[in-house]
Structure 1
Amino acid sequence: MLIESTARAGIGLRQPHYREFCTRRPAVGFVEVHSENFFNPHDVAARVLAAVRAEYAVSLHGVGLALGSACGLDDEHLDRLTALVARTDPLRVSDHACFARAPWAGRGTVHANDLLPVAFTRGSLAVFVANVQHVQERLRRPILVENLSAYLDFAERDFSEPEFFAELARRSGCGLLLDVNNLMVNALNAGADDVQAAVCAWLDELARRAPPDLVGEIHLAGHSRQHELVIDDHSCVVSAPVWSAYAHALRCFGPRPTLIEWDTSLPTLDVLLGEAAHAQDLLDAEAHARRAGNAMRATHAAAECAS
């Protein structure tokens, strides 16, 4: 998985910010857009994306491939994504570890228009591997698959979630889009005794099972509590516990391109840029710490050789 030598923080670009973003041209590492919003090559959104792409690296993040669907992929959707990738030449292409398509008697195949979770079984893994490989063959590039926020669990499982993603990457050649907020939401909803420790344990297990470059991008977002559930609604600033877990992820995997997601109750562009600036500070601090550590190890090695 190709990672930029200097990891940068970016923002999700949403329609209410188009005009201001294009006018101000803020200094961000990259922008990410939802792929499906730009499938029509002739509408206004496509022209905006072309203008943005002329000056910024762009990451395409999809919500409709339904990579865990046992009935296979939607060929028309994949055709439109392939055309968008050809027009945009994005930095990265990603989608979610979910299913949404299923056969319905008398109605053909239906699409739920949701990110539905899958059990971490050998059967699910085989479906994911086949579908991911099919997408990558069409796009002629590896993709990233994002871990979900899920509001139910399955009794049947053959793998832990980190093990599942490590094995998916090994068999298909894809990478992981690591959503730290989703890990936090899942730990909160599971009622973990120590939520922070649970998230860090997930990250530590992934680091043990997979090479650091498995993680091609990191997502950060806000969440909210609604009745008895914590919802991954991307509606507010990144919480302090998620920032802390993010710092742990950087220690595990090194600096990785990082996106601030904000999809509902959109703030001003300045608020979004402020969140990205904080992520960039943490990225730069981790990069500095690693350079200092490497320099110290090199000094010690040289001293041992001379002695």
Structure 2
Amino acid sequence: MNPSFAHEAAIAKAATTTVGIGWRHAHYGEVLEQRPAVDFLEVHSENFFADGGAALAVLTQARSHYPISLHGVGLGLGSACGIDPWHLDQLAKLVARINPVRVSDHACFARGLLSGAPVGHAPVHAADLLPIPFNAAALAVMSENVERVQNRLKTPLLVENLSAYVSFEGSDREEPQFLADLAAHTGCQLLVDVNNLYVNARNARLAGSDVDPVLACMQWLDHIPVGVVGELHVAGHRDCGDVVIDDHGSVVCDAVWQIYRHALQRFGGVPTLVEWDTDLPPLEMLLDQAAQARALSAVASPRGEIQR
């Protein structure tokens, strides 16, 4: 994959800010009936892997009215045992059917071999987004996996930063540098989840950091090269007192909107998704959040130029 391909795609998308919503089952009917004025719908890829059935039929119907963004949770791009061939086959079929505007997944591992398992034993899937160390070995693994996915799908992949509740002692660089290195090595783009940044910064503060969480997030963004970010996510989270959880179950808070404005000023008009996955609200509330993102993007002034 030619790295310049991803940068050209980022330049094209930067011209206009588009705002979409995460399309969940509870809102399938309303969206298809009302056809609200959103720029794209984003769905979890794995929910549509079946060769037929109601789910794929609904997605195909939506595709006739909206661009679709496929957001995966199961590739396990940082897994040392590699990508599950079956999973990649199903994703490739879905991409061919839907022709999505973007395909994304997470900078995590999810698959691994059980300790003591016999030779040839199949890897197990953790059914979670597990963090990786930010070092050369992990970068090599993830780069190989990302390139395999991109070569199969014939499109740049967007890789999302995690909300992580543990970290590894073996890291030799900070997360933004790791992600920038990944983009440089593979030509992938980055999906920057602003809420994940804030959740991590809040938890760092609870663990003893003396850096203001909003400032920490802005500094994180400032270490990401301009031109490699293909999408932004905003969402809500839950403050449980001793930990902040990325549950996508509430409105976007003022601090996340503030960081989002900073992201727009740095990266320009990047497509933006409002995520809401738990305690789903009425569709009107979700659309109000999308309208707020659109209003903020309309007044944000990009700074800096695309770096090649």
TM-score, with structure 1 as normaliser: 0.91
Matched, 1:270 2:296: no
Q: Which residue of 1 aligns with 2:164?
A: 150
Q: Which residue of 2 aligns with 1:228?
A: 242
Deviations 1:200-244 (A, max 9, x none): 1111122xxx2x220000000000012411000000000000000
Greater RCO (CA < 8 Å, at least 6 residues apart): 2
Q: Relative to 1, partners in 2 of residues 1:221 and 1:246: Cα closer, same or farther, differing over 3 Å?
A: same
Q: d(CA) in 2 for partners of 1:285 and 1:9?
A: 14
- Deviation of residue 285 (structure 1)? 1.2
The one-letter amino acid of 2:216's match is A
Q: How many residue pairs align between the two structures?
A: 287
Q: d(CA) in 2 for partners of 1:290 and 1:218?
A: 14
Q: d(CA) in 2 for partners of 1:8 and 1:78?
A: 28
Q: d(CA) in 1 for partners of 2:200 and 2:241?
A: 15
The one-letter amino acid of 2:148's match is H
Aligned counterpart in structure 2 of residue 199 of structure 1, from 217, 230, 248: 217
Q: Which residue of 2 aligns with 1:12?
A: 22
Deviations 1:156-212 (A, max 9, x none): 212111100110000011000000000000000011431111111111122xxx2x2
1:128-277 mapped onto 2 (5 Å cutoff)? 128-191=142-205, 192-193=209-210, 194-206=212-224, 210=225, 212-277=226-291
- Deviation of residue 275 (structure 1)? 0.3
Q: d(CA) in 1 for partners of 2:302 and 2:190?
A: 22
Aligned counterpart in structure 1 of residue 77 of structure 2, from 60, 67, 86: 67
Q: Which residue of 1 aligns with 2:49?
A: 39
Deviations 1:8-27 (A, max 9, x none): 11000000000011000000
Q: d(CA) in 2 for partners of 1:249 and 1:280?
A: 14
State the identity %. 54
Deviations 1:257-297 (A, max 9, x none): 000000000000000000000000111112xx459x99xxx
**SS state of the match for residue 171, structure 2?**
coil
Q: Higher helix share goes to which structure? A: 1
Aligned counterpart in structure 2 of residue 90 of structure 1, from 82, 100, 121: 100
TM-score, with structure 2 as normaliser: 0.91
Q: d(CA) in 2 for partners of 1:84 and 1:108?
A: 24
* Root-mean-square deviation (Å): 1.5
The one-letter amino acid of 1:125's match is L
The one-letter amino acid of 1:128's match is M
Q: Relative to 1, partners in 2 of residues 1:240 and 1:103: Cα closer, same or farther, differing over 3 Å?
A: same
The one-letter amino acid of 2:123's match is T
Unmatched segments (≥5 aa) in structure 2: 1-5
Q: d(CA) in 2 for partners of 1:290 and 1:71?
A: 40
Unmatched segments (≥5 aa) in structure 1: 295-307
Aligned counterpart in structure 2 of residue 118 of structure 1, from 132, 138, 148: 132
Q: Which residue of 2 aligns with 1:300?
A: none
- Deviation of residue 108 (structure 1)? 2.6
Q: d(CA) in 2 for partners of 1:244 and 1:165?
A: 22
- Deviation of residue 118 (structure 1)? 0.3
Q: d(CA) in 1 for partners of 2:181 and 2:302?
A: 28
- Deviation of residue 7 (structure 1)? 1.4
